[in-house]
Structure 1
Amino acid sequence: MKNSMFLKKVKMKLYQLKSNVLTISNGHHTFALTSLRADVFILNKMSYIPIGTILNERFVMERHLGAWYGESCYHGKDSQDDKQIVLKAFVPADPRIQAYVDFFKECSGMQGIPTFIAHFSTDDSEFIAHEFNGVVLRGILNARMFHISLENTIRLGYRLFRILHAIHLKGYVHKNIQPLSIVCDVGPDEELVVNLSYFGHAARIDELPSNNRIILGPHHSLHVSRGGAYSRIDDYISVVLVMLSCQTINPFDFNTNWHLTHVQKKENFHANPYAVLTPETMWLGDLYLQLEEMRSDRLSHLQVMAALRRAVPGFDPQTAITYRNAADSVYHLID
């Protein structure tokens, strides 16, 4: 959808565009979107690729998933080995391209990380191709009205922390953990597998600030939202906020508390996370504050995993995620 159509649809007008920050207003509130390329909000320069097109002599385009912030995404098939893939198209020189390439050099094929397949160019776009199976967590949560059982929420978080710990040991931070970057799929043993699928902002832990700026969202920490340097703790806090979303607790959602800015919502939660929690999720408030306290010391992965094991007495978070297939959709509905 072209930017002008988008702005019309949400009844907002272009307010200001400068210094790589797009600011839009609906007459009552102003929102600043920090962009890694200011022009991607004005015009998607990449051409739409017809379904059935074969790219790089092997990748068959099957479905256009959409375009966000200058990235156009397609589902397809690798004709060489008949595997399902995702192709992500960017305008040339987009810094996310190199982020993908560098990350996959170190982490491709690790548990929870898809296998990198190719990086290639066409006339007006550069593509990243990697394996893709399953459905995004956001779709599952939508189908479940943003609520899954506490036990499955803990199982999901346990698996995400384990994936991130492995990434961190490789020297990388993910920087964009949210329901749209998490994928669930049924494995060979019929267990539900949790994977990550987006790495456009992944970077080395010690990397200096670059022009590959993060699009701030509900699942980023207060520290990052205020412009602080990203660390492993911020990845972990994002998982805590995803777990809250799985329990229908979304205090940072764009449609919640419109009178507050993104940072103000984060500040309110940080000051008293328990105010929005249920009795069953108070321990997630404890975990959030524990992670924030670790900023002054160091992240302890073992303490985080121990907190998940203590959340429900006698419960093992390593047990299988329970789910059912919806007869009328492709989603694996987590119980």
Structure 2
Amino acid sequence: MIIGRKFALIRRMAAGGVGSVYEAQDLLVRRRVALKLLNPEYAHMPEVTRRFLREARASGAVSHPNLVTVLEMGRRQNGSYYIAQELVRGTCLRDHLAACGRLDAEHALDIMLPVMSALSAAHRRGVVHRDVKPDNIVVSTGPNGEMLPKLVDFGAAKVVKRRAAMPTQVGVLLGTPNYMAPEQVRGAHDVDSRCDVWSVAVVISELVSGRMLFTGSGDAPAVTYGQILHEAQERITAMLDDLPTDLGVVLAGALRPDRDDRYPTMSAFRRALIALDDSGVGTPKQTPVPGVSSESTERYLEPGPLEEHWSGGDDEGSEGPRSRRLAVDQQQPDSPELALSSGQTKGGEPTLEDQARAAEQALGRNALEQAIAAADDVLQDASDELRPRMWLVVAVGKLWLGMYAECEQAANNAMDAFEPQTTGWYVALGYAATARGTLGKGDELSELVEAIEEEPDEPNAARDVAACRLAIMMLRSGHREKAERLVALVQDSPLSDQHALVCAWRDVVYAELATHAGDVSVYLAHTEAATEHFTFAGDVRNACLQWHNYGNALMQLGAYERAEIVFREVLDLAEPMQLNLVPGALANLGFTLSRIGALDTAWQVESEALRRCGEQGNRRFEAVASIYLALILAMQRDLEAAVQLARAGVTLAATSPPTLAQAHAVLSAMLLLRDESTEALAEARKAMELLDRLGGVEEGEALIRLMLMSALAREGDTKAACEAAQEARDRLQLRADRIANPSWRRSFLSDVPEHARTLELAAQWLDDQRDSQPMGVAQIRNTLLGLGGPASPSERRAKSDQAHDTQPGIGEQEADED
């Protein structure tokens, strides 16, 4: 999916209550970024939106090497916002601590002193973070291999009043309970930089001691709040037992319940730690130390105003490695990507379970080949418990790589290994259905329908998703009745409106139904909704697929220039991940290029699409690429090759009735171009029979009807030709009437060549009472490729540019007619 017309989502990195963070590719400057998206449902909630915007502005107000850089902020067409930030490759400090157990004092200060420098810079700009914790610190690697900690997530930040230059923001209870200062817990509205002083001290104590100072769980924040307000001194004193003496004294000065007794600024706290480090951190205490008086920290404090009033201060730039800094590769894996998923257990070799999790995590990162290889390794010695999980990893990876036969085999193996009606079993069934349907094994889908219709003991989202996958394949195989039964099953599910993935797949099915009904506007709407749901469910692969489908909808509406942009964006995203949709996107791009007159490029792209579809074994896509290439060759006047490809398309589409109907129509057109009207009429009638049986097709309905009209007229059956023209015009107008936006409606009727030609011939034959004169060879050729029709390519491009300002994009509301 493309955000802001330039950011292609790669994978979801994190998800929170109101938004998600994705790794994304900036398609304009060709760099990876971290993209934070506000969930659309919060777009019209003022308080949530203000907090989101405050985060961007707070982060953007401060420039420091140990802070993540905000690159830009923007608003999407659905009203929600996004923030593009520097992408930091590294390990979350929480995971770094878990891997190490506990850090020595020197290592802890190597991480936290640069973070404190960044906070000092923020405080001087009037920005208080309010949520300093290990989860918001990333340990990355600098350009020279040095450890480079970065502070992230200013989502709870507050801008404080500073010399009347910045407005005061009313605070709310924001932050993470375990790291909140007492004044935050009490809900004080005048929280200042000293709450960050407290939080940093809590983090340092946790790093060195290996345990949290305040231990209440996130599910019971009241317990944590009670510890902070009523047990702080007792807990701080106990914590000192685990810390070097001098370090404990300094931290105690930062952990005063009364903020007026703490270090007045982050710089003062930082200077105390630097002085401590320069003199050597003491050894751990052997006996408890009573509460430390305020006088014990006096020697570390220097008089000065609060930092939020400073106009200057210490010149604290980037903190490079200090003389005794530990080498980064001694504390974390060599590869930042493996920091969270290396599968290495603490103090030993990775177990099979560790390797299995690494395979699953690689799949989540869209490292498909790596995931498959890791799963294959586990399968050699896997237990009965691990085997089905790894078969499932292989099935998912193979599907997205376009290896459908291997996907089917792996999915079948997983189904055999999982207990029936469990989540894993349903997931495997869904992938088996997609693989079989894509391979043209429509007759083998019925047994899966019977299996999935068995009622489980309790609702299962995986069952609903599998039913949607199966329904789509049944529709494409021409089994509409069974598909509608599956749709009803999902609609009756209590999870239908609650689970993001179920909502997404439900919209995909609705979009598929709309295509068969010829309702492109409904298709567009459901594709948009599915894209959004997949995005916020973290399923970037399927979001990319639906963005491709959105481009297909634009193509059907005649917005070829916009469709070209979308298909190129899809390829920019899908090619690096080697997704199976690449050949299909190439096929659609080639056809789109032919419609805007770029025939040479179209031929090259379509030929490559046909080659890749053949390698992939996707007979439906191969059929589509064949008939698209036939159309392009016809325009280039290579009729012999065009007819051969059209016939190949008919053969390849044998198991996909909607595509087969389109293939018969294209073959009919090729035969008309060779003046073989009798065989052309036979092919047109075959296409029409399929259209009548299916009740509609995804693409090519107007072409089917247009070829029937012209073939009948060429054969001299005037009456039948006029009847076909009347039916074609009525059907076309019915489909157009379903499109609410007037700009889209005009584009649909005038910019799709076969639509414009249908209306033109119907007007001549029916309204003007002329004889039904068949289209000539030149008219047929021009109609098929969109050249010399209602507008030239340059004129259509100008019209599309003009319509671009009025046609709705993703998330935009459709305009009403005046």
For the aligned pair, the TM-score class normalised by the smaller chain equals: 0.7 to 0.9
Contact 1:158 1:318 in 2 (8 A): no
Contact 1:251 1:265 in 2 (8 A): no
Task: Evaluate the alpha carbon distance shift between residue 271 and residue 192 of structure 1 in structure 2; reply closer, same or farther with a 3 A threshold.
Answer: same
Name the structure 2 match of 1:4.
none
Name the structure 1 match of 2:115.
160
Distance in 1, Cα, partners of 2:35 & 2:173: 22
Distance in 2, Cα, partners of 1:287 & 1:174: 22
Contact 2:185 2:225 in 1 (8 A): yes
SS in 1 for 2:177: coil
Distance in 2, Cα, partners of 1:211 & 1:151: 35
Alignment pair present for 1:323 and 2:331? no
Distance in 1, Cα, partners of 2:251 & 2:61: 29
Contact 2:127 2:157 in 1 (8 A): yes
Among 225, 249, 255, the alignment partner of 1:286 is: 249
Among 94, 100, 109, the alignment partner of 1:144 is: 100
The size of the alignment, in residue pairs, is 278
For 1:261, the aligned partner's letter is V
* Superposed displacement of residue 302, structure 1: 4.9
Task: Evaluate the alpha carbon distance shift between residue 212 and residue 97 of structure 1 in structure 2; reply closer, same or farther with a 3 A threshold.
Answer: farther
Q: TM-score, normalised by structure 2?
A: 0.32
Name the structure 2 match of 1:275.
238
Name the structure 1 match of 2:226.
264
The equivalences for 1:93-108 within 5 A come to 93=46, 94-107=49-62
Name the structure 1 match of 2:126.
171
Distance in 2, Cα, partners of 1:58 & 1:102: 21
Name the structure 1 match of 2:187.
227
* Superposed displacement of residue 97, structure 1: 2.0
Higher alpha-carbon deviation: 237-246 or 79-88: 79-88
Name the structure 1 match of 2:10.
62
Contact 1:184 1:193 in 2 (8 A): yes
Contact 2:206 2:212 in 1 (8 A): yes
Task: Evaluate the alpha carbon distance shift between residue 270 and residue 226 of structure 1 in structure 2; reply closer, same or farther with a 3 A threshold.
Answer: farther
Task: Evaluate the alpha carbon distance shift between residue 225 and residue 288 of structure 1 in structure 2; reply closer, same or farther with a 3 A threshold.
Answer: farther
Name the structure 1 match of 2:37.
89
Distance in 1, Cα, partners of 2:114 & 2:177: 22
* Superposed displacement of residue 249, structure 1: 2.5
Q: Deviations over 1:104-151 (max 9, x none)?
A: 4421x4222222222223326321111121232122223223x12221
Q: Deviations over 1:7-26 (max 9, x none)?
A: xxxxxxxxxxxxxxxxxxxx
SS in 2 for 1:277: helix
* Superposed displacement of residue 221, structure 1: 1.3
* Superposed displacement of residue 190, structure 1: 0.9
Contact 1:95 1:212 in 2 (8 A): no
Distance in 2, Cα, partners of 1:230 & 1:157: 22
Name the structure 1 match of 2:273.
308
Task: Evaluate the alpha carbon distance shift between residue 315 and residue 54 of structure 1 in structure 2; reply closer, same or farther with a 3 A threshold.
Answer: farther
Name the structure 2 match of 1:244.
205
* Superposed displacement of residue 163, structure 1: 0.9
For 1:68, the aligned partner's letter is G
Distance in 2, Cα, partners of 1:223 & 1:310: 28
Name the structure 1 match of 2:177.
217
RMSD, aligned CA: 3.0
For 2:151, the aligned partner's letter is L
Contact 1:205 1:231 in 2 (8 A): yes
* Superposed displacement of residue 198, structure 1: 0.5
Distance in 1, Cα, partners of 2:156 & 2:327: 31
Q: Which has the higher helix share?
A: 2
The equivalences for 1:15-54 within 5 A come to 53-54=1-2
Distance in 1, Cα, partners of 2:221 & 2:19: 30
For 2:61, the aligned partner's letter is E
Contact 2:54 2:157 in 1 (8 A): yes
Contact 1:157 1:240 in 2 (8 A): no
Bigger relative CO (Cα 8 Å, ≥ 6 apart) = 1
Distance in 1, Cα, partners of 2:14 & 2:147: 26
Task: Evaluate the alpha carbon distance shift between residue 182 and residue 279 of structure 1 in structure 2; reply closer, same or farther with a 3 A threshold.
Answer: closer
Q: Percent identity?
A: 18
Distance in 1, Cα, partners of 2:137 & 2:221: 30
Q: Deviations over 1:134-184 (max 9, x none)?
A: 232122223223x12221112222112111111111121111111111112
Q: Which has the higher strand share?
A: 1
* Superposed displacement of residue 205, structure 1: 2.2
Task: Evaluate the alpha carbon distance shift between residue 119 and residue 306 of structure 1 in structure 2; reply closer, same or farther with a 3 A threshold.
Answer: closer
Name the structure 1 match of 2:154.
199
Task: Evaluate the alpha carbon distance shift between residue 252 and residue 230 of structure 1 in structure 2; reply closer, same or farther with a 3 A threshold.
Answer: same
For 2:70, the aligned partner's letter is F
For 2:225, the aligned partner's letter is V
Name the structure 2 match of 1:72.
20
Task: Evaluate the alpha carbon distance shift between residue 213 and residue 81 of structure 1 in structure 2; reply closer, same or farther with a 3 A threshold.
Answer: farther
Q: Deviations over 1:249-305 (max 9, x none)?
A: 21323449x897112221312345121233534444433442336625871445423
Distance in 1, Cα, partners of 2:221 & 2:72: 45
Gaps of 5+ in 2: 162-166, 282-320, 343-818
Task: Evaluate the alpha carbon distance shift between residue 321 and residue 216 of structure 1 in structure 2; reply closer, same or farther with a 3 A threshold.
Answer: same
Distance in 2, Cα, partners of 1:180 & 1:251: 15
* Superposed displacement of residue 59, structure 1: 1.1
Among 98, 103, 110, the alignment partner of 2:64 is: 110
Distance in 2, Cα, partners of 1:311 & 1:101: 35
Contact 2:24 2:35 in 1 (8 A): yes
Distance in 2, Cα, partners of 1:87 & 1:227: 31
